Structure 1
Amino acid sequence: MKEAENYQAFMSNFSINMVHLRSPWIVAWWSAAFPGFGHLLLGNYVIGFFLMIWELLVNNLSHLNTAITLSLIGDFEKAKAILSIEWMWLYVTVYVFTIWDSYQKTIQYNQHYSLVQKGTIKVSTDSALTLNLLEKRKPIMSIIWSLFTPGLGNFYLNRIPATIIGIVLWVSVGYYSNLFEGLYYTMTGNFKEVTKVLDAQWILFVPSIYIFSVYDAYIHCIEYNKLFDQAQKNKLMESYHCPTFKMPLKRV
């Protein structure tokens, strides 16, 4: 095994990508909620971003969310009429593969985690643009900022790729769904206008994106804190621990 494979985390100026234990079922569930989210949880930003674009594109071309909305209100005939069968076939195959792939990758990463040296970090931060420090942060703050605007919780953790993806996705979906206009009418009590302005095809993306942003930032904050504790423990053991020293017994 190569030495680089023993590291638990890889740290750059813009993020920290790390291996830690995850539940395959939770990762698969997030892939089912929104293709690409499961891969983002695993640190596969490129694959996750591609799958998210695929979800937005093909879901819209197949009119899937609109058909789901019509089905929920009992208009099944209109739901069947609006669906594009050609695009639905492509959607379903990639959708199922995304869930399966994220599940399998989680199992592989968990197996790899048992082989890594816990708390070891490969650092590559030679840049004058920004700094990234491993430090303990408050999980509650990652939740609060994510609730204000999805993506800000990851910005608090200095996860720049996840921040860009989260904010761009939230702004895009919010714009095309007319979410922000709907929120304005809701706050002013004009509920009739809310139902008129919201786009059913886009608005169904909102709950998954919003909840995932909170969960993603919170979980990574917890894991970064664990990594900090383990790295600090390793440093203290390496630099200050004397193998021959015996702790004296406490006298009663």
Structure 2
Amino acid sequence: MRHKTEYKSPYAAAVWSVVLPGFGQLYNKDYVIGFVLLGFEFLINLNSNLNIALVHSFNGDFALAHSVVDYRWGMFYPSIYAFSIWQAFNSAKAYNARTLTNMKKRRTYYTGFFIGLVVGMDFGLFWHDFPYLNHFSVLKILNIPVFSGLTFGLLFGILGNYLEKAIYRKKKIEELA
């Protein structure tokens, strides 16, 4: 009887981790790390009041959103969030390389993006209440606790991805020379 190998979609694993850190690992059948990440997610989310701040931000009550967030705990969230997405994506890639092609995966993907995402989200959370943001009407969106982290996270993530590709390209050119 043939043993059927199962394909793991790296993008599905990443999307599951976007929904809730740890779900992508459960999709990949990495149960231990999945449950550990879920535990960290709940611990940090409950102590930082992040979901309450999200509700207030979406309702337009930004002052109340600022007042309920515990930023000491909130600064941990971007690391858990980005790591969960990165690990789920790369774990699915490695699984497919091992089972479908019998090769070892030799590199990770989107590392620069996720490092930039963590740095940008932490930067956005830390500087969310920067006094100069109120002087420029275009930058007032960055005074919202959660959205400032997401905005800076995406910007730094794109920059990190560009830098990673530039460094990887340069390394490949040097190896060929």
TM-score by length of 2: 0.54
What SS class does the counterpart of residue 150 from structure 1 fall into?
coil
Question: Are positions 1:230 and 2:98 aligned together?
Answer: no
Q: CA RMSD in A?
A: 1.6
Aligned length: 100
Q: What residue is the counterpart of 2:74 in the other structure?
A: 203
* Unpaired runs of at least 5, structure 1: 1-132, 233-252
Q: What residue is the counterpart of 2:63 in the other structure?
A: 192
Q: Which of the two has greater helix per residue? A: 2
Q: Equivalent of 1:180, from 51, 61, 81?
A: 51
Cα distance in structure 1, aligned partners of 2:70 and 2:23:
25
Q: What residue is the counterpart of 1:14 in the other structure?
A: none
Q: How does 1:1-252 map to 2 (within 5 A)?
A: 135-231=6-102
User: Which structure is richer in relative contact order (CA contacts within 8 A, separation 6 or more)?
Assistant: 1
Letter matched to residue 224 of structure 1: Y
CA offsets 1:102-151 (integer angstroms, 9 cap, x no match):
xxxxxxxxxxxxxxxxxxxxxxxxxxxxxxx8521111101111001000
CA contact (8 A) 1:134 1:224 kept: no
Letter matched to residue 34 of structure 2: T
Deviation at 1:230, TM superposition (A): 3.2
CA offsets 1:152-174 (integer angstroms, 9 cap, x no match):
00011111001110100001000
Q: What residue is the counterpart of 2:146 in the other structure?
A: none
Q: Could you list the structure 1 runs, at least 4 aligned residues long, displaced by more than 3 angstroms after superposition.
A: none
Q: Which of the two has greater strand per residue? A: 1
Cα distance in structure 1, aligned partners of 2:81 and 2:99:
28
- Larger C-alpha radius of gyration, 1 or 2? 1
* Unpaired runs of at least 5, structure 2: 104-177
